[in-house]
Amino acid sequence: MTLLMALVRSAYLAFLVVYTLVVSPLGVLWSGAVTRQGATVAIPVVEKVYTATWLAIGWVALEVIASWVRVWLDARARRRATAPAPGSLPAA
């Protein structure tokens, strides 16, 4: 279940990053133009929304890292539990 949640979070993070890059008005922000297809958009408002989106992506990225660390620690604990004790002879 931990691995499933890590995979779901990773897929969601990838979706958020790609979607944000696709729909973000980078051309408008970098060109200094305040209109896009006739609709007036205040650049400071767009920048605030853009900043909030990247903060959300950062938070999800932290969750993804934490879930993958948990998966790694669980697998490591499972390997240690099944490993023979040091100095013991392997079973014949």
Structure tokens at 64: 């993804």
The answer to whether position 88 is within a domain reads no
Indicate if the alpha-carbon torsion angle 28, 31, 36, 41 is positive or negative: positive
- Print the domain residue range for 78: 2-31+41-82
Residue 6: CB atoms within 10 Å: 20
Number of domains in the chain: 1
Does any domain span residue 69?
yes
Question: What pTM did the predictor assign?
Answer: 0.62
pLDDT for the residue 27: 66
Q: What is the pLDDT of residues 25-78, one digit of tens each?
A: 666 666 655 555 555 667 777 788 888 888 898 999 998 999 999 999 999 999
Tell me, yes or no, whether 14 lies in a domain.
yes
> Half-sphere exposure of residue 85, counting CA atoms within 13 Å on the CB side?
2
Tell me the per-residue pLDDT of 48-60, one tens digit each, with 9 for 90 and over.
Answer: 888 888 889 899 9
| 91 in a structural domain | no
Question: Residue 7: inside a domain, yes or no?
Answer: yes
Q: Classify residue 65: in a domain, yes or no.
A: yes
Q: Is residue 61 in a domain?
A: yes
